[in-house]
Amino acid sequence: MRRILVAGNWKMNLLQSQGAALSQFLAGKYGSCAVEILVCPASPYLSGVGTTIRGSAVQLGAQNLYFAPQGAFTGEVCGEMLKDVGCGWVLVGHSERRQFFGEQDELLAKKVAAGLQHGLKVVLCVGELLAERQAGQTEAVLEKQMAGLAQVSAEQMANIVIAYEPVWAIGTGVTASTEQAQQAHAFLRSQLKSRYGEAVASATRILYGGSVKADNALELLSQSDVDGALVGGASLKVDSFSAIIEAGIQAQARKS
């Protein structure tokens, strides 16, 4: 039985007071919860948000890391620092990192390995561009991007979550249909099976991301291979994010 994970990727949004208000509300509302909840603030605010949510069911994640353990890498942040400020999680390979910062699978595999090495759970993001979907290349792209797992052993997969985020659905208001999401997730699970075998494939959570909102979350999260949501825009507001968490709780109850 996979436990649903509802994760908010705040991206480069929310100033200190806004993030504090949102995290205070979430921590107050979810002292415990049937689903896992994760928030990923911008790096200057990790420590503050971490303090606010301590002792609640809300967990802390970073949006990125660099693979080197320390040193002369101006502007970068390593896994040990993230751990040091209280992160339990880190996102790797978000499409915005791939698109705007040129991050490719080989680099991402090093980042995934570095995150695990420092005791962080890693959400590896994958997803095809609109042109790739239209050209019938979705599965080939997803298979290639699973190379982000190149250095991950079967044992370490317990600390990996995959996030399927079709790039054409991110921030566009266009959500993948439940069929499109389920199909891609089932494909990703088959990839996990061929890499790691049945037990790991069926234990690994695969999140959907891309215009998840309060009104489509329950349907998406009810799909058999959809084990959670990675939410951008709708995670920035108390009402929409808590409605998605509530949808997660309902979907979890349906599945158990």
Of the residues 103, 128, 165, 185, only one is catalytic, namely 165
Window 51-90: contact mask with ligand 13P (x via CB under 6 A): ----------------------------------------
Give me 213's structure tokens: 């909102």
Instruction: Single out the residue of 14, 42, 161, 170 in contact with ligand 13P (rule: CB under 6 A).
Output: 170
Beta carbon nearer to ligand 13P, 153 or 172: 172
- Contact map string, positions 1 to 30, toward ligand 13P, x by CB under 6 A: --------x---------------------
Does residue 165 have an active-site annotation? yes
Residue 116 corresponds to which tokens in the numbers above?
């695990």
Rounded distance, CA 161 to CA 122, Å? 6
- Please tell me the distance from the alpha carbon of residue 86 to that of residue 120, in angstroms, as a whole number: 10
Find the binder of ligand 13P among 94, 98, 111, 133 (CB under 6 A). 94
Helix (H) or strand (E) segment spanning residue 229: strand 228-231
Q: What distance in Å separates the CA atoms of residue 4 and residue 155, rounded to the nearest whole number?
A: 21
Residues in contact with 140: Cβ distance below 8 Å, sequence separation at least 6, in sequence order: none
- Catalytic status, residue 118: no
CB of 132 to ligand 13P, least distance (A): 17
Distance CA(217)–CA(210), nearest Å, equals 11
Determine, following the binding rule CB under 6 A, whether residue 248 of this chain makes contact with ligand 13P.
no
Closer of 149 and 212 to ligand 13P (Cβ): 212
| Distance between CA atoms of residues 122 and 150, nearest Å | 14
Q: Which residues form the interface with ligand 13P (CB under 6 A)?
A: 9, 94, 165, 170-171, 209-212, 230-234
